[in-house]
Structure 1
Amino acid sequence: MLRTFLSLLMTAIFGFLQAQERIALYDTVPNTKDTANISNNTPELYSYIPSKIKHPYVFLIIPGGGYTHIAMDHEGHQVATRLAEQGYCSFVLKYRLPSAKQQMDKRIAPIQDAQRALTLIKKKIAEVPLDGAKVGVLGFSAGGHLASTLSTHFDTDYHQSGLAPAQLRPDFSVLVYPVITMEEGITHNGSKQKLIGPEFNQEDIVKFSNEQNVNSHTPPTFLIHAQDDKTVPIENSYRYQQKLNQYNISNSLFSYAIGGHGFGMHNKQEPREWFNNMLDWLNNLKF
């Protein structure tokens, strides 16, 4: 009986996921070396549009993985499924992993994909019967670094396509145990090495330490972090929040005493749930 139930449940979940639209980000992937085989590293976007849209907030979900892999399930599709169940539109991004063998400039490949995804989402949402849509970003771990890059680098069009900062700026940010800084002793060394390594220069460390790029136009932000996170220290979130406060930008930090790293939507070590707290914060924001 249990096996039958689980089988039916998995079939239903798989069918739900398969029903989502998969969108190619590009006709021709930019910043690619002529000799590169990118079949295993092609960016895509998965849309989750509920049959009954109940809220104007739209999420670009960016899973983590240390810039070495992408945790598409528990930091991507599962999150989008839950949002859809509550009437929110969302899109899950499979971005390019930085690769010096594949990309002419590996440092900017992920942010190119995030900017492209955001602009595609804004166009697609304009076709949906949704008044006053606000499109934000929700990123986990290294995906949180990419989400915070999207939230602080909108003055730079990484495609050099003439888009204005307003078109490249998310309306809000949700950063879950995010890598924020590239500074030694606080960053996640694996993410730093993969994105801007193996040799480091001070210009790149500053450029991709996103607490140093916060300004008065940075979107309102909800941060989630566990105090015992040994992989990505909570100091990353503290530094970002400190800069947000400096510019009087609306923000909130939901911290756990225990939980470690990579818990996704469900921290099994504490009963409190960040997900619904985040939605309450979002629905009370004044744009």
Structure 2
Amino acid sequence: MKRSLALLSFICFAQATMAQITIPLYPDSIPNSKPTTDKESSVVGADGKLRISYVTRPTLTIYQAPKEKATGTAVIVCPGGGYSILAASHEGSDVARKFNEMGVTAIVLKYRLPNDTTMINKEIGPLQDAQQALLVVRARAEEWGIKKDQVGIMGFSAGGHLVSTTGTHFQYNYVTGQPEKKVSKKSPLRPNFLILIYPVISFSDSLGHKGSRTKLLGDNPSAGKIREYSNELQVTKLTPPSFLVHAKDDKTVLYQNSQEFYDALQKNKVPAEIYFYEKGGHGFGMINKTSEVKWMDLLQEWMKSNKWVR
């Protein structure tokens, strides 16, 4: 009996392992990088959460939706961490598995963390990785059972800043260093939708998360750079439809970040939905313990209304 259970456990583990693969984000050299020693570190804290630091070699981990459930939709997931670390489990792999239950293929992006010693220009490193992720996912869409026009991108906290930047700066290819020849809703660098969870949106003095801004832009960014990366100011009619979640008592990233981005979307007639928790603080991942409302259920309904899931 014990042997049978052990065999069953092994088979289940093998099936789970087969369901996900990790690949390098760039097939060859990594753009905008300096020669450096790989110091990447992965640590599971006392809270059981995995945190990754010193990321210099970006990867994609693909959690393919089961064939019997697959809808053709994919979401690239960008964990948060103030551009200092990546909260890789509760804002990454855990979320990916939940998407699989919805029939969505999830791709967790382990993006580079900005650092002057590892990058020529640290402010564009994470954005290069997000854009490359979109290009790779669309290039391999048929292989992974994905529809090219159903590729969204999701970010938590500073990952939300990266995602909102990706959704507002696609007129330029930061990987190649060239402007896009034609910018439209069908642009390959434009996500089909954005999911922003307690996101850093603004880099302004009044709203911005100073730690994220300093990590990305340095100690004394110019007014022009602050405006460029304050994404509530960069919304246009081509910004993708968006779903936002925030807690009003978030003291780390003020909820007005989400409110101002939502207001800009409304002004530009971009479809959007926002949900505010009264409490919950920052960094609660999929579960806000102060409320019975599960925002992933709300997200699923929003995705259903847009025919991205069944």
Q: TM > 0.5 between the two?
A: yes
Show the counterpart of 1:262.
Answer: 283
Unaligned runs of 5+ in 1: 1-7
Show the counterpart of 1:81.
Answer: 97
Per-residue CA deviations over 1:209-244 (Å, capped at 9, x if unaligned) read: 011110010000000000000000001001101100
| Offset, 1:19 | 4.8
Q: 1:191 to 1:131 in 2, by over 3 A?
A: closer
Show the counterpart of 1:5.
Answer: none
| Offset, 1:139 | 0.6
Structure-2 separation of matches of 1:120 and 1:262: 29
Unaligned runs of 5+ in 2: 1-7, 41-54
Structure-2 separation of matches of 1:255 and 1:66: 21
User: What TM-score comes out, normalization by structure 1 length?
Assistant: 0.91
Show the counterpart of 2:64.
Answer: 49
Greater helix share, structure number:
1
Per-residue CA deviations over 1:175-204 (Å, capped at 9, x if unaligned) read: 000000000131111111101111211111
Structure-2 separation of matches of 1:29 and 1:160: 11
Aligned residue type for 1:89: T
Show the counterpart of 2:261.
Answer: 240
Show the counterpart of 1:100.
Answer: 116
Please say if residues 246 and 277 of structure 2, whose CA atoms lie closer than 8 Å, have aligned partners that are also in contact: yes
Per-residue CA deviations over 1:9-31 (Å, capped at 9, x if unaligned) read: 9x967973575110101121110
Q: 1:230 aligns with which of 251, 259, 280?
A: 251
SS of the residue 1:170 aligns to: coil
Q: 1:224 to 1:265 in 2, by over 3 A?
A: same
Please say if residues 38 and 102 of structure 1, whose CA atoms lie closer than 8 Å, have aligned partners that are also in contact: no
**Within-5 A mapping of 1:182-201:** 182-201=203-222
Please say if residues 80 and 90 of structure 1, whose CA atoms lie closer than 8 Å, have aligned partners that are also in contact: yes
Q: 1:198 to 1:12 in 2, by over 3 A?
A: farther
Show the counterpart of 1:158.
Answer: 174
Q: 1:281 to 1:19 in 2, by over 3 A?
A: closer
**Within-5 A mapping of 1:140-219:** 140-160=156-176, 165=183, 166-219=187-240
Q: 1:180 to 1:159 in 2, by over 3 A?
A: same
Show the counterpart of 1:66.
Answer: 82
Structure-2 separation of matches of 1:125 and 1:215: 27
Show the counterpart of 1:3.
Answer: none
Please say if residues 73 and 147 of structure 2, whose CA atoms lie closer than 8 Å, have aligned partners that are also in contact: no
| Offset, 1:124 | 1.4
User: Aligned pairs, how many?
Assistant: 280
| Offset, 1:285 | 2.3
Q: CA RMSD in A?
A: 2.4
| Offset, 1:33 | 1.8
Percent of aligned positions with the same letter in both sequences?
39
Q: 1:137 aligns with which of 153, 157, 163?
A: 153
Q: Which runs of 4+ in 1 moved over 3 A?
A: 11-15, 128-133, 161-165
Aligned residue type for 1:183: S
Show the counterpart of 2:49.
Answer: none
Please say if residues 194 and 240 of structure 2, whose CA atoms lie closer than 8 Å, have aligned partners that are also in contact: yes
